[in-house]
Structure 1
Amino acid sequence: MSISQAILRHVPYLRRFARALSGSREGGDAYVLATLETAVADPSRLVADEDLKISLYRLFLEIWTSSPINDHTDTSGDEAGARRNLDAISLQPRIAFLLHALEGFSLGEIARALSVSEARAAALIDTASSEIAGQLATDVLIIEDEPLIALDLRGLVEELGHKVVAVARTHKEAVETISRTPPGLILADIQLADGSSGLEAVNEILGSLSTPVIFVTAYPERFLTGEPPEPAFLIAKPFSVDSLKAIISQALFFDRRSHLKYNDKHK
């Protein structure tokens, strides 16, 4: 297998990580592209005697953290809201937590990706967990046709301090639900019981409501195509508590309205 083929195997997952970290498909993909261009121009940036995946993620993080916009909050408008929400969890702990919860990195792998000790990596994850636990609660709509998965999602969402306002099994039920109780977050399966698409249901909902959406699918790589309509946030089945926590937190970090709700609630 050539080096380019080996790198391509990791690209869908690096893109998932990038968009979770940056808060958008476009922003995440721009940094992934910059990482790939750098690797092609200077292959020595990928450490030869190290796991290629770790080396690739470390190169991505070097490029991402070198951008001034990723380490300050002097912005305005909607972007300012997003940056303020990011302040709710420190940068390095957030990166470490995503590597652990979303990408399944071990402590040793996180340490190598961040060029820190394993003890430091463990401390970063602990810090992130504590900071995430202090985040705002919101109303959640679950769009899921499998009862056991819907039950698991409800339990995990409520464990995180959020309120499930409804569980919809079909496109029609989902649209009817938001007319009664607009949610602050949507968790949606991609294939629904009536044969309709969760993507289509969410697109209709977003025509009248602005809220972050997390799609649940057994095949995330099928939807990481780089072409719209592509989900910004994806979680793979089967999912873990940590993965769900990581994605929910990232989705809410980049939602300006959630930040404003939190301020109103805690004045």
Structure 2
Amino acid sequence: MSSAELAKSIGRELPFLRRYARALTGSQTAGDNYAAAALEAILADRSVMDGLDPRVGLFRAFHALWESSGQPISEADGGERGQRAQAHLSKLTPNSREALLLNSIESLRFDQIGEIMGIDAAEAEELVRIAMDEMSQSVRGKVMIIEDETIIAMDLKGIVQAMGHEVTGIARTHSAAVQLASEQRPDLILADIQLADGSSGIDAVNELLGSLGELPVIFITAFPERLLTGDRPEPAFLISKPYSEDQVSSALSQAMFFASTEGLGAS
């Protein structure tokens, strides 16, 4: 593969590496720093990509750095809240959360995860199973859903409740979201990007964070790459449409560990 072809293929996959890195660290800043370091490693030694699918090679370069770096959250980036999350995460089986995210959020096969992590496919599958078991025991909370499509909203509600969380309500518009939040403060917000009245879910969430303080937020969109450009503050947790139950469950579990959604720029 020529340098131009390699650059083009990596460019296509970079938004998804950044999504994975953010979910892993719970932070836009930390996640993007790790993704940038992975790119630098590839530029320094292109052989890390030899014989691999570009996506697998990119994630493999990232994982090598991740493994060697030690702690995923620095005190400066995560603060007291980040330290609490790190203490919780340290109790999980090593590499299980990474395998779960690669499988559920990034839709990679077990053999691909094995290539990325330097293990066999069976071990990768076992790590995902362990992570799902451990994540099912995570903290419970109150979840607010902002979604204008009734069928999707009810599906999300069912997934959230099956995990043991309480749903405070479903809002279809910006104004309805503000009203709902004023009635009961959620612990986490699950929001679509485009709402029924033509307003932005990002705008609604920004207003809610302004009045409620920082909360973990998961955004759902059919075009995740449009929100992963690095041009402005962006969400740490992002699910693609169409989504699977495992993707929602995994993202919810990750987000409950981190109250890390930063100010979001409207588009």
TM normalised by structure 2 equals 0.90
Provide the residue aligned with 2:230 in structure 1. 226
Answering whether residue 245 of structure 2 is matched by residue 245 of structure 1, we say no
Answering whether residue 62 of structure 2 is matched by residue 60 of structure 1, we say yes
Residues 141, 187 of structure 1: 8 Å contact kept: yes
Answering whether residue 192 of structure 2 is matched by residue 189 of structure 1, we say yes
Residues 15, 29 of structure 1: 8 Å contact kept: yes
Provide the residue aligned with 2:170 in structure 1. 167
Counterparts of 1:83-122 in structure 2 under 5 Å? 83-122=86-125
SS in 1 for 2:36: helix
Stretches (4+) displaced over 3 A: 70-73
Percent of aligned positions with the same letter in both sequences? 45
Residues 169, 193 of structure 1: 8 Å contact kept: yes
How far off its partner does 1:107 sit? 1.1
Structure 2 unpaired stretches of 5+:
261-267
Change (3 A) 1:189 1:13: same
Question: What residue identity is the alignment partner of 2:148?
Answer: D
How far off its partner does 1:71 sit? 9.3
Report the Cα distance in structure 2 between the residues aligned to 1:72 and 1:35, rounded to whole angstroms: 18
- Greater shift, 86-95 or 181-190, is seen at 86-95
- Among 193, 196, 201, the alignment partner of 1:198 is 201
Provide, for residues 97-134 of structure 1, a one-character-per-residue CA deviation record: whole Å limited to 9, x for no partner: 11110111111111111111122112111110110111
- Among 2, 20, 23, the alignment partner of 1:20 is 23
Answering whether residue 185 of structure 2 is matched by residue 179 of structure 1, we say no
Change (3 A) 1:216 1:72: closer
How far off its partner does 1:229 sit? 3.6
Change (3 A) 1:72 1:179: closer
Report the Cα distance in structure 1 between the residues aligned to 2:198 and 2:233, rounded to whole angstroms: 19
Task: Give the root-mean-square deviation of aligned CA atoms.
Answer: 1.8
Provide the residue aligned with 1:236 in structure 2. 240
- Among 39, 43, 46, the alignment partner of 2:46 is 43
Residues 143, 169 of structure 1: 8 Å contact kept: yes
Provide the residue aligned with 1:212 in structure 2. 216
Question: What residue identity is the alignment partner of 2:65?
Answer: I
Report the Cα distance in structure 1 between the residues aligned to 2:257 and 2:236, rounded to whole angstroms: 13
Change (3 A) 1:71 1:226: closer
Residues 86, 254 of structure 1: 8 Å contact kept: no
How far off its partner does 1:76 sit? 6.5
Q: Size of the alignment, in residue pairs? A: 254
Report the Cα distance in structure 2 between the residues aligned to 1:76 and 1:168, rounded to whole angstroms: 32
Residues 73, 82 of structure 2: 8 Å contact kept: no
SS in 2 for 1:193: coil
How far off its partner does 1:81 sit? 1.3
Report the Cα distance in structure 2 between the residues aligned to 1:86 and 1:65, rounded to whole angstroms: 15
